[in-house]
Amino acid sequence: MTTITPQATKDAPPGQGAVGGSRTLLSFVGGQNLSLIGALAVVLALFGILNENYLSVSNMQVIAEAATITGLLAVVQTVVIICGGLDISVGSQVGVASVVSAMVFTSTGDNALLGVAVAVGVGVLVGVLNGLVIVYGRVNPTIATLAGLAAYKGLAQLLSDGRAQGYVLNDDIFVFLGRGKVAGIPAMVWILIAVAVAVHLLLTRTDIGRNIYAIGGNDTAARLAGININKYLVAVYALIGVVAAIAGILLTARTGSGQPTSGSEGLELKAITAAALGGCALRGGKGGIGGTLLAVALLGCLENGLTVEGINSFWQNVAQGALLVIAVVIQQRRSGERAVGLPT
Partner 1 sequence: MCPAPSPTPEPDPPATGQNVTSGAAVHDLTKRFGPVQALGGVTLDFPGGQVTALMGENGAGKSTLLKILTGDHQPTGGRITLEGQPLTLESPARARAAGIRIIPQEPEIIPYVSVAENVYAGALPTSAGRRLDRTELRRRVTADLDRLGFTGVLDPDLLGSQLTPAQRQLVEIMRAVTGEAKVVAFDEPTSSLSEHEVDALFRLIRRLRDQGTAVIYVSHRMQEIFQLADRIAVLRDGNLVGVQDARSTSVDELVRLMVGRDLSTMFTRRRADRGRLVLDVKDLTTEDVRNVNLQMHAGEVVGLAGLVGAGRSELALALAGDRPVLSGTVTLDGQRLRHGRPGEVIRAGLGLAPEERKAQALFLHRSIRDNSSLVVLERLRRLRFVSRAAERKLVQQYADRLRVRAPSIEHEVRKLSGGNQQKVVLARWLARKPKVLILDEPTRGIDVGAKAEIYQIIADLAEEGVALLVISSELPELLGLADRVVVMQNGRVTGELGHEDATEEAVLSLAMADDIAGVTPAGASS
Partner 2 sequence: SSGKESADDDGPAAPVTGKISLTYLQKQGDQEYFVGEAEGAKEKAAELGVDLKVVNLGNDANKTVSEVQSAIAQKTNGIIIVVPDPAVGPQVVRTAKDAKVPLLTSDDQICATGPDPSACDKADLIPRIGFSGSQMGGEVGKRAAEEFKKAGWRAADTRVISAWKQDVTVCGDRVKAAKEAFDAAVPGVEKTDVATDNTPTGAQDKIAATITANPKVKHWVIWGCNDENVQGGVTAMKNAGVGADDVIGVGLGAYLACKDWSGGKPSGMKAALFINGRDVGALAVQTMYDKLKNGKEFPSESFAPTTMVDAGTWKSAGVTCN
Ligand X SMILES: Nc1ncnc2c1ncn2[C@@H]1O[C@H](COP(=O)(O)OP(=O)(O)OP(=O)(O)O)[C@@H](O)[C@H]1O
DSSP 8-state assignment for residue 165: B
- Residue 22 lies near partner 1 (rule: CB under 8 A): no
> Among 244, 241, 215, 240, which residue's Cα sits nearest to residue 230?
215
The binder of 2, among a second copy, partner 2, ligand X, none, by C-beta within 5 to 8 A per type, is: ligand X
Nearer to partner 1, 12 or 62 (CB): 12
d(CA 203, CA 238): 16
Residues pairing with 185 in the sheet: 182
Q: Binds 272, which of partner 1, ligand X, a second copy, none (CB < 5 to 8 A, cut-off by type)?
A: a second copy
Site for partner 2 in 291-320 (CB under 8 A): 303-304, 307-310, 312-314, 316
Instruction: Report how far apart, in Å, the C-alpha atoms of 229 and of each of 82, 204, 220, 221, 288 are.
Output: 13, 18, 10, 11, 20
Interacting residues with ligand X between 1 and 30 (CB under 6 A): 1-2
Half-sphere exposure of residue 93: CA atoms within 13 angstroms, side-chain side: 37
Q: Pick from 106, 86, 56: which is nearest to 147 by CA?
A: 86
Binding site for a second copy (CB under 8 A): 84-85, 133-144, 146-155, 157-158, 162, 215, 219-220, 222-223, 229-230, 233, 269, 272-273, 276-277, 281-283, 313-322, 324-325, 328-329, 332-333, 337-344
Least distance to a second copy, CB of residue 122, Å: 15
- Among the listed residues 156, 222, 240, 293, the single contact to partner 1 using CB under 8 A: 222
Are 87 and 280 a contacting pair, CB within 8 Å?
A: no
User: 114-125 in b/e burial notation, b at 16+ Cβ within 10 A?
Assistant: ebbebbbbbbbe
- Amino acid at residue number 230: N
Contacting residue, 210, 256, 308, 332, with partner 1 by CB under 8 A: 210
**Type of residue at 68:** T
Residues that bind partner 1 (rule: CB under 8 A) add up to a total of 40
Q: Which residues sit at the interface with partner 1, rule CB under 8 A?
A: 1-9, 11-13, 16, 18-19, 201, 205-211, 213-214, 217-218, 220-228, 281, 285-286, 340
